[in-house]
Amino acid sequence: MSDVGPPEPGPTEIVPGLTNPRTLGLERFLIRSRGGSATQSAWRLSAASEEGQGAIILVELSPEEKFYRAEGVFLGWPQERMEAAYRALLPKPEEDGFELHQLG
C-alpha cells in the first residue's frame, strides 16, 4: 500500500489562456459608435501577460445592455470570455485606494 495521496491541485488560472496576467490600468473615456449620434462613456482595462499586452473595453449602453471590445492579446475572444477576464482583472477596491465615504 502506498502513502501517496491525491495529486496537489495546481495554481488556478486567474484568466484562462494567459500566463501571469496583471492589470496595468483602468480608465474612463468617451466613445462614439458608428451611426450613433450620442457620445457614451466606457471603461478601458489595460493588462499585460507573458503572451503580450492588450485591453478590454466595457461599453454600457444601458443598465441591462453592455458589450466588450478587445485589443491586443484579447482580440478574437468571445463576449463571455472577455467579461470573465475583465471581472478577474478588475482592481479590487482595497488595491487601488478606493474609499467609500459616508455622507450625512
- Residues 70-104: tens digit of each pLDDT: 999 999 999 999 999 999 999 887 655 555 566 65
* 13-22, 30-39, 71-80: segment of lowest average pLDDT: 30-39
Cell 499585460 belongs to residue: 48
SS (H, E, C) 47-104: EEECCEEEEEEEEECCCCCEEEEEEECCCCCCHHHHHHHHHHHCCCCCCCCCCCCCCC
Quote the pLDDT of residue 62. Answer: 82
Quote the pLDDT of residue 10. Answer: 47
What number is the average pLDDT over the span 6-19? 71
